[in-house]
Amino acid sequence: MVKEYLEKTKQEFVEQKLMIQKDIVACQNRMKENAKFIEILEDTNDPNYDAFTPRETNSFNRKKIVELQDSQKMEIENLSSLQGELQIVDNKIDEISNVMKEYMIDATRQNSIDYRVNQLRTEDRRMHRFSQKLMNQFESTAEQVTCHIDLCNKLIDVDPERTRMELSEIRKQFDLQHKWMKNYTYELYPAFDDGIPFDQKLQQLIRLLQKNDTYTIDYHTSGISYRLDNVIQNTLLYAIIELSKNGMEHSETDKVMIGLTYESDGILLTVSDSGQGFDYDFFTQSVEYGVTKLGLYVLDNRVERLAGKMEVESALQKGCSIKIYIPRVS
């Protein structure tokens, strides 16, 4: 609708420009004719011509020259006015053209963002199906193994005490693996459009992250909240998982601060700690932190595909702060 209005307005100014240009050509032609007549009539003022020309004719010619000169002055003023109008219309056309150009750039950018968002939505759905399939398969296997272990406990008749201890240890390890698999599938796909508000998902995630660790998470939000696209929700949840775990594993701190700011044109996530920090330039070039670096790379790539930006601020013994800004998707 905006594009059509701009095109219509521009066309109206183009038509107005053509009319002004036509008036300018007509005015210039009249000026040429006036100049030509004035030149002819001025030739009649020659003394020799005067001697052979009736007095009435000479008087008429001089009067006509004055009239043409006055008309010429009016045409010059008219031409100047028309040229001024033409300049104004040209400026209007240029302004509208620039607005249309910016509008097309914005539209192209929005189409590009929409395309990338749709791509991420497709990937998220595929990851969701994969994680569900993985979890279902593991649950089925887990149920079978558990039944076998329980049966063994009942049937053992040779060194029953030692066997029970071994089976108990197997069960313990299995439970740990089961728990790990649940956490892994949650990291693989932390959320889906299940009707749960994003703030509630975030609170659940923070409780999960703090459940079996010795660190605390200080979480706060600011700004007026609004509905976030599911792709953005999943990106933010993944970011919190990745950055919180990295902070706990490498910063030697017992506290992570998470801030979420709702801005009118986008969402800002800040994850920081006051731990030992790191040399970011060295970190990006070193192979020592391969897995962690890969996680940050994947996160940065996902944020970039949403037309967002990730900034890392860190130095040795000065903690770490990572900011992620993602523009609002209409």
The type of residue at 297 is Y
Q: How far apart are CA 247 and CA 321, in angstroms?
A: 10
Last residue of a domain, one of 117, 139, 170: 117
Q: Output the average pLDDT for the chain.
A: 75
pLDDT of residue 223: 92
Q: Residue 257 forms beta bridges with which residues? A: 218, 272
Sign of the Cα torsion 69, 74, 77, 79 reads negative
Verify that 167 and 203 share a domain, yes or no.
Answer: no
Q: How far apart are CA 192 and CA 115, in angstroms?
A: 19
Verify that 319 and 278 share a domain, yes or no.
Answer: yes
pLDDT of residue 268: 96
Q: How far apart are CA 169 and CA 165, in angstroms?
A: 6
pLDDT of residue 41: 75
- In our burial notation (b when 16+ CB lie closer than 10 A, e otherwise), range 258-278 reads bbbeeeeebbbbbbbbbbbbb
Q: How far apart are CA 124 and CA 271, in angstroms?
A: 23
The residue to which tokens 């296997």 are assigned: 141
- DSSP H/E element including 21: helix 2-43
The CB density around residue 211, as the number of other CB atoms within 10 Å, is 8
Verify that 203 and 322 share a domain, yes or no.
Answer: yes
pLDDT of residue 180: 61
pLDDT of residue 212: 57
The type of residue at 313 is E
Domain count of the fold of the chain: 3
Last residue of a domain, one of 69, 88, 117: 117
pLDDT of residue 291: 44
Half-sphere CA count of 183, side-chain side, radius 13 A:
16
**Kind of pairing between the strands at 255-263 and 266-273:** antiparallel
Report the predicted TM-score, pTM, of the whole model to 2 decimal places. Answer: 0.49
- DSSP H/E element including 261: strand 255-263
Domain holding 31, by residue range, is: 2-117
Verify that 130 and 35 share a domain, yes or no.
Answer: no
Q: pLDDT tens across 79-134, in order?
A: 888 888 888 888 888 888 877 776 665 555 555 666 666 666 666 666 666 566 66
Verify that 296 and 233 share a domain, yes or no.
Answer: yes
Q: In terms of residues, how long is the chain?
A: 330
Verify that 138 and 39 share a domain, yes or no.
Answer: no
**CATH code of the domain containing 203:** 3.30.565.10
Verify that 79 and 180 share a domain, yes or no.
Answer: no
CB 240 within 8 A of CB 271: yes
Is 223 strand, coil or helix?
A: coil
With 0-12 / 13-18 / 19 or more C-beta atoms within 10 angstroms meaning exposed / middle / buried, residue 54 is exposed
**Kind of pairing between the strands at 216-222 and 309-314:** unpaired
pLDDT of residue 287: 44
Sheet holding 255-263, edge to edge: 216-222, 255-263, 266-273, 320-327, 309-314
CA 262 to chain centre: 15
Verify that 82 and 66 share a domain, yes or no.
Answer: yes
CB 91 within 8 A of CB 57: no
Last residue of a domain, one of 186, 209, 242: 186
pLDDT of residue 184: 56
Verify that 269 and 289 share a domain, yes or no.
Answer: yes
Verify that 321 and 214 share a domain, yes or no.
Answer: yes
Residue segments in the chain with a per-residue pLDDT below the cut of 50: 51, 191-193, 287-292
Q: How far apart are CA 199 and CA 217, in angstroms?
A: 15
CB 58 within 8 A of CB 65: no
Verify that 47 and 158 share a domain, yes or no.
Answer: no
Verify that 123 and 113 share a domain, yes or no.
Answer: no
Q: How far apart are CA 116 and CA 102, in angstroms?
A: 21
